Amino acid sequence: MTKYTHALLAIALMFTSIASAQTTSGSITGTVADTSGQVIPGAEVTLTNERTGEERKGTTNEVGDFTFPALVPGAYKIKAEAKGFRPLERTNNVVSATQRVTVGTLQLEVGTVTESIVVEAQGAGVQTNSSENSSVVDRTQLQMVSIRGRDAVSMLRILPGVEQGRDADILGGNFGTTMPAFQGLSTAQTTIMVDGVNGGDSGRGGTFSGTVNIDAIEEVKVQMSNYTAEYGRSGGAQINIITKGGGREYHGTGYWYKRHEMFNANNFFRNRDGIAKQLYRFQTLGGTIGGPVKLPIPILNPGGDKMFFFYSYDDTRLKDPVAIERWTMPTVLEKQGNFSQSPVNTA
């Protein structure tokens, strides 16, 4: 086998392993009709990912319906066209992980193809394809809500039906972040995934070990109950963390966070005993960058516009000594096996 064949085989295996994981994709469905409500079979529908520019095309069936399954979470533009009608574009159709979005009926007006109608905004739709009880922590919330340890698990506390739990001091906590309880159920019943791959210890969500910093997360989708049959493994909440990806334009961030005892108040007992503040120093330095790979690669990226990258770096350094602990150590006689002088425990 040639080196080229080996590379293609490795890529095929990679996508096979991704496909075998729990899905995090969504779907968009809708109907194309005229202004009188009569459906239009055979209308051309084009779906465009607004971040990457990727296009998918389809046609409506005999009752005017269309469906685009297996969509990566993000915002999409829908364009519907039919002979003798003005094309209609609807932008900012947001699909979250595992969501089935219904855009309703796209009504085309009679006119020429040189004219078009663009709908740039729309109200929040009602979920009609699923009865799931779910919530989404989106990119805006992740960026605007201040979290001490910058751990996405701590963000789950802002959702209804979630216990407060413990806010981790640092990203990842101690050997993983302890998950809060959802709707009073044991944390062992929670399933947590990162891009469809298990992120919890022993396949469950008691502890989240697949640490991802907030700046690398696009959204967190939490399904509380009534989720569809393809999601499961346990009877508790289903959590899907979706990481960011690159797009057609280069974007990046840089950050530096600092916590220091100078900003803290000393506690009452330390003040009473004349003891200085305890050391409490955390510094987090990091950044992200993403965009297109401007490198033509046969089959994979022939025009240099089909491949994207995203990189995240997060480094936390701390100095946070634990409280003083006292231990009773053996005396010289006790080390020699002589316990005649040892105090007697009468408890």
Dihedral (CA of 131, 132, 133, 138) sign: negative
Residue 37: CB atoms within 10 A of its CB come to 9
Q: Are residues 219 and 261 in the same domain?
A: no
Residue 237 located in a structural domain: yes
Say if 11 falls within a structural domain.
no
Domain boundary among 215, 243, 271: 243
Q: What pLDDT was estimated at residue 249?
A: 92
Helix (H) or strand (E) holding 106, with range, is: strand 100-108
pLDDT at 254: 95
Residues 59 and 113 in one domain: yes
Phi, psi of 186 (to 5 degrees): -60, 145
Partners of 133 in beta bridges? 225
pLDDT confidence of residue 197 = 85
Two tokens at 12?
A: 């095929």
* Residue 329, domain extent: 254-347
Asked whether residue 37 carries a pLDDT value surpassing 90, the answer given is yes
- In the predicted model, is pLDDT for residue 21 greater than 60? no
Using DSSP bridges, classify how beta strands 191-194 and 238-243 pair: parallel, antiparallel or unpaired: parallel
12 lies in some domain: no
- The per-residue pLDDT for range 262-311, each reduced to its tens digit, is 999 998 988 999 989 988 999 999 999 999 999 999 988 888 888 999 99
Task: Assess whether 88 and 160 both reside in one domain.
Answer: no
Q: What is the CATH number of the domain that holds 161?
A: 2.170.130.10
End position of a domain, from candidates 204, 221, 243 = 243
Q: Judge whether residue 77 has pLDDT over 70.
A: yes
pLDDT reported for residue 345:
65
Residue 110 lies in a domain: yes
Whether 237 and 138 map to the same domain: the answer is yes
Total number of domains constituting the chain: 3
pLDDT score, position 322: 74
Hey, which of 106-110, 136-140, 146-150 has the most confident mean pLDDT?
106-110
- 47 and 139, same domain (yes or no): no
239 with 147, same domain: the answer is yes
- 70 with 160, same domain: the answer is no
108 in a structural domain? yes
